[in-house]
Copies of this chain bind each other. A is one copy, B any other.
Amino acid sequence: MKNQNELMIQMAVDTWNSTVKRTNDLFNALSDEQFHNEVSPKRNTGIYLLGHLVAVHDRMLPLLDLEESLYPELGDVFISKPDKAVSHSHTVSELKTKWKEVNDKLSAHFKILKPEDWMLKHSAVSAEDFAKEPHRNRLNILLSRTNHLSYHFGQVAFLK
Residues of A that sit less than 8 Å from B by CB: 2, 4-5, 7-12, 14-15, 19, 39-41, 43, 115-116, 119, 134-135, 139-140, 143-144, 146-148, 150-155, 158
Dominant secondary structure of chain A at its interface with chain B: helix
Give the docked Cα–Cα distance between A9 and B31 (Å).
40
Q: How far is the CB of A33 from chain B (nearest CB, A)?
A: 18
Contact of A154 among B15, B139, B152 (CB under 8 A): B152
Q: With A39-B40, A40-B40, A151-B153 in contact, do A4 and B119 touch (Cβ < 8 Å)?
A: yes
A129 smallest CB distance to B (angstroms): 16
Task: Output the least CB separation between A46 and chain B (Å).
Answer: 13
**10 smallest A-B Cβ distances: which pairs?**
A151-B154, A40-B40, A150-B150, A147-B150, A154-B154, A150-B151, A15-B143, A154-B155, A8-B8, A40-B158
- Measured in the bound complex, the distance between the Cα atoms of B148 and A144 in whole Å is 13
Contact status of A143 and B12, CB under 8 A, knowing A7-B119, A116-B4, A150-B150: yes
Known: A150-B147, A154-B155. A5 touches B7 (CB 8 A): no
- CB closest residue in chain B, given A146: B147
- Residues of chain B within 8 A of A9, CB atoms compared: 8
Query: How many whole Å from A10's CB to the nearest CB in chain B?
Result: 7
